[in-house]
Structure 1
């Protein structure tokens, strides 16, 4: 699942202004890659990435000023392909007249920015990567617990939303209930957020849908969060071999990123919110280099060595 992004969306989210082409802002953007057409200005179009936004900064516009007008006109018409979304001019620079004429003829908008080339390049790339990335829709609840993004999963009716409500009451923040959209931001980072229609909303059986931000304030919600941990709630089974030491390391792979998964048994009397808080703090502790399970194993090894090194009492007698 991917989103549809057009030039108007880009303008509204990356501090861009329209220099030309107000009527053409519905042009689709299909890639997050940005092109800086340096070789193209010299006439080299063998590998021209026409589907990318074309970004011109001080270097490109300065080079264009030194070009012959006829040659520059030819190059600009070659750059204005039907699939080209837009041209962006950084640093409040004026676009070349030849570009304006070619863009008008091909109905391609020209955008401007007061930001430097590197800054507007970063802004556009970050926005497009986040919004054009492939998405997975997961049935669960995403909560920010002590800065750790926890997705709570489990069968319908197991208590996911009720647990999230208790966590919100304890000062943590809701990101998404029922459906979580997950996408990969980079090689090691997953981001989760709510579908637009479900933002800030939580469904509690017997009550209905509640607006968490309206009831608990703006500090009780977030628009998105990292995904650091999966907590799967399941019915308690007396004979099930639950992990008691934390040595079993189960993970779930989303795209290219693996996320640790904990299976938490649910039965009357267990405070799930406190358990998830402890799981989140333990995850943070491990990320900072401290692993209680390893410490326990080390202490156990020391104790075994200590007792095995003692001389046998019978032999001493």
Structure 2
């Protein structure tokens, strides 16, 4: 699922001034890229990306003032003549040309103004739109931050995900989301998880009810979002199933368009799931630093078996 952005979102988030075109603030923004119509001010519209937010800064407007009256009207008519254009943004609180207002009025094209420098505004608006329009999904599970590792705990309902998260919080780790995790892919192989606003900081414990983790354990016990680095799947212990005992098999699970490392943890009485998951996160961190205990053990075992003197 990909979220849509509207011009009104930009106005609200960046506290910009609407000069004209309030009726058009519901226009959709389909791409996160901004565009400065420099060549267009010179009259070249052959490859004009009309679907982008158009940014007019000091350079464009000062050049615009060097044109004749007829050229100025012509340039703005071409700039505003397509309904695919979301809006035109004037930066640095510069004066808005009358020709732009006249061309935009019949089309209800929003003309908005910001006091920010052009380059800074473009960077911040691009980041905001990329985050807002990123592909997203919602997964049933619990997301926690363990020593900087974002770990998503999944499994069937009632298997103990929330109770495990509570124990992890008591051990000093941080809760991000319980029950429902909103995940968006902000870049290639980068997944960011956060809770729905309605249940932020809340944890459901069967037999106790809903608790507020931040109220009980403090602000340091929660995070608003985190990058997802691995998934721990809890499943009921199956006697006839072979589980990985060395850690050499590296499974992955696909979320949106990203493959995430997966560990499957069997659940049975007497197993401390919080400690196991904590160790799994630390082991994943060590692997990222280049140390793999299972691989090192296997290499030493192979060397021992191949050396006759060690077998005596």
How far apart are 1:241 and its partner, in Å? 1.0
Aligned length: 310
Q: The residue matched to 1:114 in structure 2 has which SS?
A: coil
Matched residue, 2:66: 66
Tell me if 1:251 matches 2:252. yes
> TM-score, normalised to structure 2's length?
0.91
Matched residue, 2:54: 54
Question: Aligned partners of 1:147, 1:70: CA distance in 2, in Å?
Answer: 60
Distance 1:7 1:269, change over 3 A: same
Question: Aligned partners of 2:124, 2:109: CA distance in 1, in Å?
Answer: 21
Q: The residue matched to 2:122 in structure 1 has which SS?
A: helix
Q: Is the 8 A contact 2:7 2:87 kept in 1?
A: yes
> TM-score, normalised to structure 1's length?
0.90
Question: Aligned partners of 2:279, 2:12: CA distance in 1, in Å?
Answer: 40
Matched residue, 2:94: 93
Q: The residue matched to 1:83 in structure 2 has which SS?
A: coil
Q: The residue matched to 1:298 in structure 2 has which SS?
A: helix
Q: Is the 8 A contact 1:64 1:96 kept in 2?
A: no
Q: The residue matched to 1:2 in structure 2 has which SS?
A: coil
Q: Is the 8 A contact 2:33 2:126 kept in 1?
A: yes
Matched residue, 2:2: 2
Unaligned runs of 5+ in 1: none
Pairing 1:196-215 to 2, within 5 Å after superposition: 196-215=197-216
Q: Is the 8 A contact 1:18 1:109 kept in 2?
A: no
Matched residue, 1:36: 36
Distance 1:22 1:159, change over 3 A: farther
Matched residue, 1:237: 238
Question: Aligned partners of 1:5, 1:70: CA distance in 2, in Å?
Answer: 35
Question: Aligned partners of 2:205, 2:219: CA distance in 1, in Å?
Answer: 20
How far apart are 1:49 and its partner, in Å? 2.4
Unaligned runs of 5+ in 2: none
How far apart are 1:69 and its partner, in Å? 2.5
Q: Deviations over 1:113-153 (max 9, x none)?
A: 33332221121111111111221111111111111111100
**Structure 1 residue ranges, 4+ long, deviating more than 6 angstroms after superposition:** none
Please report the RMSD computed on the Cα atoms of aligned residues, expressed in angstroms: 2.1
Q: The residue matched to 2:243 in structure 1 has which SS?
A: coil
How far apart are 1:287 and its partner, in Å? 1.5
How far apart are 1:255 and its partner, in Å? 3.1
Q: Is the 8 A contact 1:18 1:112 kept in 2?
A: yes
Tell me if 1:23 matches 2:22. yes
Distance 1:251 1:107, change over 3 A: same
Distance 1:184 1:312, change over 3 A: closer
Q: Is the 8 A contact 2:214 2:222 kept in 1?
A: yes
